[in-house]
Amino acid sequence: MGKEDCGMIPVLDALWFTFYLLMFFGLLALIRLVIGPTVPDRVVGLDAMTTITVAAMIVLAAIMEEPIIVDIALVYALLSFVATLYIARYLRRKKEGLQ
Amino acid sequence: MIGFGDILILVFAIIGVFFNALGSLGLLRFPDVYTRLHAGTKCTTFGTIFTVLAVVCYSLWRWIAVPDPRWVVISVHSIIAVMFLLLANPVGAHAIARAARKIGIRPYGAVVDEMEGMKND
Amino acid sequence: MIDGFLFIQIIIGFALVVTAVTAVRLKNLLAAAIALGGFSLILSLEFYVLQAPDVAMAEAAVGAGLTTALFVLAIKRTSDEEVEE
């Protein structure tokens, strides 16, 4: 990695620390996914965990200096709300079917 | 040797991590699904914007130091990813809030429900 | 550097086990499908950390979009709750 640039190493350490903290907050959102009492609670936990993980993936791509692995975060940001919309549509249709 | 770019990246990263911390903490502490949605969608989106802004500043700064096209690819793709996130997150939050209202989850501590009996809630 | 890598591996393994046990033990099948979505997200992060971007992208596309939609379609056709034998 780029150790030859002067003044660059504290910023790299700060980005590593940012990545660790983001993974810890993703674990906190995972607790809500596990213990959530209703289905929308779990969906909210999954949504927050997806957003935090996208941020962590982008930070790790900047640390590793790999431009190709930002695209995984892009795919997740684009596709994560398909599951959310499907589950919300299922809940509404189920309630309307019961009435 | 701390320069202006260091300070900018550190401030953006600190703001992003702080708002992500508030979002995940509120996701654990709040009492019902609507307030959890409020914390878990808005705060994490805002924190992700500032974290990605720190990454974009870092990559542009490295590109100014050594002109390598990888840094431009990283910054442009990060901006595209956060724009997709900005499009997708409020849509999903709105759909989940409507579904939770539809299946009968009441807000915590609510005494008056003005949407009771409305046709298209 | 190797210390940080080990730390990431420990966190990801712990989260994988937690989401898998949650998806097995939940009685509501829709909640189990959501837990499998979280499992797929963490597995994609594992492939990402191990620097296999093509596998991680396939896992992201299949796990986030396709699998949850298929599970919700199957649950819509049958039943929401787990049936006792």
Is A87 part of a structural domain of the chain? Answer: yes
- Cβ–Cβ below 8 Å for B48 and A43: no
**What pLDDT, on a 0 to 100 scale, did the predictor assign at position B16?**
92
pLDDT surpassing 70 at residue B117: no
Mean pLDDT across chain B, nearest whole number?
Answer: 86
Residues of chain C with C-beta less than 8 angstroms from the C-beta of A90: 30, 72, 75-76
**What pLDDT, on a 0 to 100 scale, did the predictor assign at position A9?**
61
Mean pLDDT across chain A, nearest whole number?
Answer: 83
Q: Which two tokens stand for residue A56?
A: 């962590």
Interface predicted TM-score (ipTM) of this complex, two decimals: 0.87
Q: From the CB coordinates, do chains C and B have 3 or more pairs under 8 Å?
A: no
Domain that includes residue C45, residue range: 2-77
From C57, A54, A28, select the one nearest B52 (Cα to Cα).
A54
Q: CA of A3 to nearest chain C CA: how many angstroms apart?
A: 13
Q: What is the CA radius of gyration of chain B?
A: 20
B78 in Cβ contact with A76 (< 8 Å) = no
Q: From the CB coordinates, do chains A and B have 3 or more pairs under 8 Å?
A: yes
A59 in Cβ contact with B9 (< 8 Å) = no
Domain that includes residue A24, residue range: 9-98
CA distance A33 to A48: 10
**What pLDDT, on a 0 to 100 scale, did the predictor assign at position B20?**
93
CA distance B74 to B56: 8
C81 φ/ψ angles, rounded to the nearest 5 degrees: -100, 160
Q: DSSP string spanning chain C?
A: -HHHHHHHHHHHHHHHHHHHHHHHH-SBHHHHHHHHHHHHHHHHHHHHHTT-HHHHHHHHIIIIIIIHHHHHHHHHHS-SBPPP-
Q: Is B64 in the A-facing interface, judged by CB distances under 8 Å?
A: no
**What pLDDT, on a 0 to 100 scale, did the predictor assign at position A1?**
43
Is C15 part of a structural domain of the chain? Answer: yes
How many structural domains are present in chain C?
1
Q: Which two tokens stand for residue B78?
A: 């990060």
Comparing alpha-carbon positions, the chain A residue that sits nearest to B88 is: A81
In this structure, of A17-21, B38-42, B101-105, C18-22, the range with the lowest mean pLDDT score is B101-105
Is C84 part of a structural domain of the chain? Answer: no
CA distance C85 to C80: 15
**What pLDDT, on a 0 to 100 scale, did the predictor assign at position A55?**
92
Interface of A with B in 17-56 (CB under 8 A): 18, 21-22, 25-26, 28-29, 31-32, 38, 40-41, 43-45, 47-48, 51-52, 54-55
Q: Provide the residue type at C37 as one letter.
A: G
**What pLDDT, on a 0 to 100 scale, did the predictor assign at position B2?**
65
CA distance B103 to C20: 27
Residues of chain C with C-beta less than 8 angstroms from the C-beta of A40: none
Q: Is B76 in the A-facing interface, judged by CB distances under 8 Å?
A: no
Is C44 part of a structural domain of the chain? Answer: yes
Percent with pLDDT over 90 in chain B:
40
> How many Cβ atoms are within 10 Å of A74's Cβ, its own excluded?
22
pLDDT digits (tens, 9 = 90+) for B91-100: 999 999 998 8
Residue whose token pair is 């979002």: B23
Is A90 part of a structural domain of the chain? Answer: yes
Is C82 part of a structural domain of the chain? Answer: no
**What pLDDT, on a 0 to 100 scale, did the predictor assign at position A4?**
45
Mutate to test the interface with C, among A47, A76, A81, A89 (most CBs of C within 10 A): A76
pLDDT digits (tens, 9 = 90+) for C16-62: 999 999 999 988 888 899 999 899 989 998 998 888 888 988 888 88
**The 3-state secondary structure of chain B, one letter per residue:** CCCHHHHHHHHHHHHHHHHHHHHHHHHHHCCCHHHHHHHHHHHHHHHHHHHHHHHHHHHHHHHHHCCCHHHHHHHHHHHHHHHHHHHHHHHHHHHHHHHHHHCCCCCCCCCCCCCCCCCCC
Q: Mean pLDDT per 10-residue run, chain A (99 residues)?
A: 52 88 90 87 91 91 86 86 88 74
**Taking the domains of chain B in order of start, what are their residue ranges?**
4-102
Closest partner residue to B84 (CB to CB) among A26, A29, A74 is A74
Comparing alpha-carbon positions, the chain B residue that sits nearest to A75 is: B81
Bridge partner residues of C81 (DSSP): C28
**What pLDDT, on a 0 to 100 scale, did the predictor assign at position B22?**
92
Rounded to 10 degrees, the C-alpha dihedral C9/C14/C17/C19 comes to -110
Q: Is A83 in the C-facing interface, judged by CB distances under 8 Å?
A: yes
Q: Is A60 in the B-facing interface, judged by CB distances under 8 Å?
A: no
Is A48 part of a structural domain of the chain? Answer: yes
Is C36 part of a structural domain of the chain? Answer: yes
Q: How confident is the model at residue B121 (pLDDT cuts 50, 70, 90)?
A: low
How many structural domains are present in chain A?
1
